[in-house]
Structure 1
Amino acid sequence: MNHGLVTVAAATPAVHVADVAFNVVACVEETRAAVVHGASVVVLPECCLTAYTCGDLFLQDALLDAAEEGLAGFLDRTADLPCLVFVGLPLRQNGKLHNVAAACCAGELLGVVPKLNIPTYNEFYEGRHFVAGPEACVDAEVCGRTVPFGAHQLFCCPGMPALKVGVEVCEDLWVACPPSVGLARAGATVVCNLSASNALVGKADYRRSLVSGQSARLLCAYAYASSGWGESTQDVVFSGHDLVAENGRILSEGRPFGDGRALAQVDVAFLAEERRRISTWTSAPSPAAAGYREVRLPDAFAGAVAAPAPVTRHVDPHPFVPDDPATRSGRCEDILDIQAHGLAQRMAHTRSATAVVGVSGGLDSTLALLVCARAFDLVGLDRAGIVAVTMPGFGTTDRTHGNARAMADALGCTLLEVPIASAVRQHFSDIGHDEAVRDVTYENSQARERTQILMDLANQRGGLVIGTGDLSELALGWATYNGDHMSMYGVNAGVPKTLVRHLVAHVARTCGDAVLSAVLDDVLDTPVSPELLPAGEDGTIAQRTEDLVGPCELHDFFLYAVLRQAFPPAKVFALACRAFVDQELEAGREPAFDRATVLRWLQTFYHRFFSQQFKRSCLPDGPKVGTVAVSPRGDLRMPSDASAALWVTQAEALEA
């Protein structure tokens, strides 16, 4: 199964100016090298069969004859390759010369796409030689074949409807309304650009922004190949800058003056799904209605891309957490600001000067308390109005209890301790529950007792109960219904567990308070636990959340892939194995999980995600901070009684 993944390459062959025979060989070699690395779509630079810098030699019939003959030779020499290749050349049509991209596949010439925007300014003087081609397709004789000639062409793959490839040439991308806009609206999920963009100071950054921005705006993959070594340096230099982008992100880059190659798997199935999901994406009624001709790719190509293939693209194992420390630090600040401003507005609206927070010494309540402190500072309220309530119970350890108290003191909050053991025992007596039976009733009674205390304290002080539960717990239903599930404002509701850790670590690094920093560091070192079962004889935590419901890393990966990307179980599993197993092995590291472990917890995720929707259907208010959220009023309109059978069956049919 290929999961809608297609490998795309942008490559820059080393050329000789006006030496077509040499350039054909160079183009063939670059194409073969890309195919060896798995490429199904290859884009080569503008006029690569002749070189772009031929100048007035473009007026010579000898060169133009050689270019067309060179195209025929390229087709012959790549007839055994079931890949779609775009090669650039000058081509005469109807008494004029055009700068074109020839679409070649398995020895067939499928169509010719002309450049529409001819630059004649600064160092460019293409208007001296070339004219703009037609948008609408006409039939043309090229290399003894009758093929479509025009900019409005889509190269489509039978058997993979999400793969439609469009082409534009160099300057076409740089104009106010690039042809790729129409191509994407007509269905193109991959856009290829054959370019000869010269090197100037700062131009590479602008080129990256153009390519990544266009891929984001058009919800497409964008492959850009630019001329490089061998082009004339009489007045300008070409750096061979190659890029493959997808939905705003550069997946692969052949950096300027580098090896002249960029290759990456792009996910056309995801791009098609994104276009369906985003209501403001407006597709044309049909390619034909929009004036575009669909050109069918050969069966050899369809068979090659449909064949089972491994996932080779880089898959981020932590989709919510940026790798780059500076980016991560900025992301943490943004999230803390969103949380704090959300809470500050809610307190202002309710005229509350008190926030009541249950603090356990764990990560989630720590983050909630830090957000409260920031919100109070934001609106100029005294932090003494933050009532940090520690409620030791049967499973509370000295470590977490001590950290909760120390953190409240370091932040200048009002600390209140209300032990719950006697109240819970009274409740057990009232309902006839044997305390020795440590089941769900035993655990949830403690969570609900704590919530009752917080609610009553908030009423007593005219304040709000601030929820501490995070996004990952809500997705898995790892919360006691009408216990820690309930609050008056849930500041962590949009923050996944893997990101909670980084937010707390960010405050520890930046708070400028050695005492608070030390407490936060110890909280980060403490195992995640609900602490609802008695501690061990040595006073250590008896329950570890990740032992019970699975590793946070895996579940956050599943959460992103299922909710943000809407991937089916088989694809989620394949990508998770790539992220957590294959990439680790390739890097020479021992994976933390094997495939069987990944599969086990994926199956758990689907069971829990569907069965626990009833808790998410009545969530308290809380701020959305990222692209994934589970609020029933926002991102997730899911019925509580939806059947999980389809997803669970598919997940359970997978093999590790």
Structure 2
Amino acid sequence: MSKDNDTSNTTVTNGAGASTASPKTVTFALAQSHFLVGDITANVEQMRALALQAREQGADVIIFPELALLGYPPQDLLLRPSLSGRIKSALSTLSEINDIVMIVGYPHVDHHGTFNSAAILHNGHQKGFYHKQYLPNYGVFDERRYFDKGRNQVLFDYKGITIGLLICEDLWEKNLIAELKQQGADLIISLNASPFELEKQDARKTMLAKRSRDHKLPIIYVNAVGGQDDLVFDGGSMAVQADGSVAHEASRFMNQLMLVNLDVNTFKFNAQAKAPLTLSRESEMYQALVVGLRDYVNYSGFTGVIVGLSGGIDSALTLCIAVDALGADKVYAVMMPYEYTSKISLEDAQAQARRLNVSYTVCPIFDAVEGIRHTLAPLFNKSPADTTEENIQARARGVILMALSNKFGHLVITTGNKSELAVGYSTLYGDMAGGFDVLKDVYKSQVYDLANYRNRLEDTPVIPERVITRPPSAELRPDQTDQDSLPNYDILDGILTLYVDEDLGYKDIVDKGFDAEMVAKVISMVDNSEYKRRQAPIGTKISKKAFGRERRYPLVNKWSIKG
């Protein structure tokens, strides 16, 4: 099974060693589950429980996601010297499970290198393995840093079916499935850890339909689910017929053990009794944000979260997501008014906190701000007031929130959105102080969409209507609005989407119809704010290109924005 450049084939037999007689159907269990990075022991126990459950329900084969044994993405855990021994022990434990074939994603380490692999386990033995051949090295993926390239096609025979194995990116490359078809594959099984981004499920379905139709092969696609740092895996595992139609689709963002029957004579899957609900754009965005925050907080061991509730739309939406992710009893809202905080903001913050039944505290910052100003007065006595004094307010709030976190063990979640983070409309060690930014990859215009979406889910709105309709303001000076410093958010977000998400340059954006001076200003603001973003907390990725691991720009450079 391990010889490079060979097409390997193995036969999985029953416990007596004889080939199993061909039945009418073979039942596959798609184990769409969350496997925590680094927790090999717990992952093994979860796999064991799912395998036993699947066997009890009549499954012949259970399939786990890519690298499920270690969790995805494991990053530099793959470089730990004890990894190989831990993985071998875990596979040995799983091999003890009898009477069901297990296809397990794991990191394979031997004298040839480290590989992103799938093991075939059955009745006490590892019958074979497959090494991933296409290693993605773009966006959030960095697999060439850790893995060696596999070079062997793998087929295995089970109950009259010849099954070909692929892992995630392999399926997006058309030549590998063609080679498996040529070698006699009747069915393709693909293990995946495919992170969420908007409209990604539609792209997966399009790809799977093309692969299955082009090669007249049914495909089983198993995806991971759950949050890991700034990534969310949204599930949506599928069984696709040879004509490209979807026979079964698992729910999105949920653990699910989905059983699929394949007729071994026609190589067709049985029809799904009830397909999952189709999620709207706002719904899948919202679910991704909820899952991302939920799993980050819970698996990091925090007892709850603290939200600085300002009476504005960003903190209002963040509070809703926090309650939906963790429950009201784990969410603590703190309103920190100053002399520029409007009565409306105080009223709306209190109303929302009551509506969501969260702990709500008012902690005025006047004394803290004046204390800092008094300390700085001898140093600032010859300098006119400017944004420095405004930022003292934001930083006083940051100090209070972090002190509460320090004292009570709750995670501070920040409320800045992608539009603000892009152009630097935020204060280091102020409103950026915290451990997780829920809206980090959500543009301001999308914040309004999500706020309206969340309000539509209940008869009584959870976000007061005037929070959505009144002009946004940081309330750091009298009568301030965001548009004093920024263009209209629809225009700003249009430029940012083209520059950040689509990687278009100055001229191309201007050619799209945007004002040249405005484009130059926005691009300059984005480029000059890189140092701030490097110090920002992580937040859930939902777009094609989020700030963080997939957008890496030098802090110091002389690149011309019009070049």
TM-score, scaled to structure 1? 0.43
Q: Which has the larger radius of gyration?
A: 1
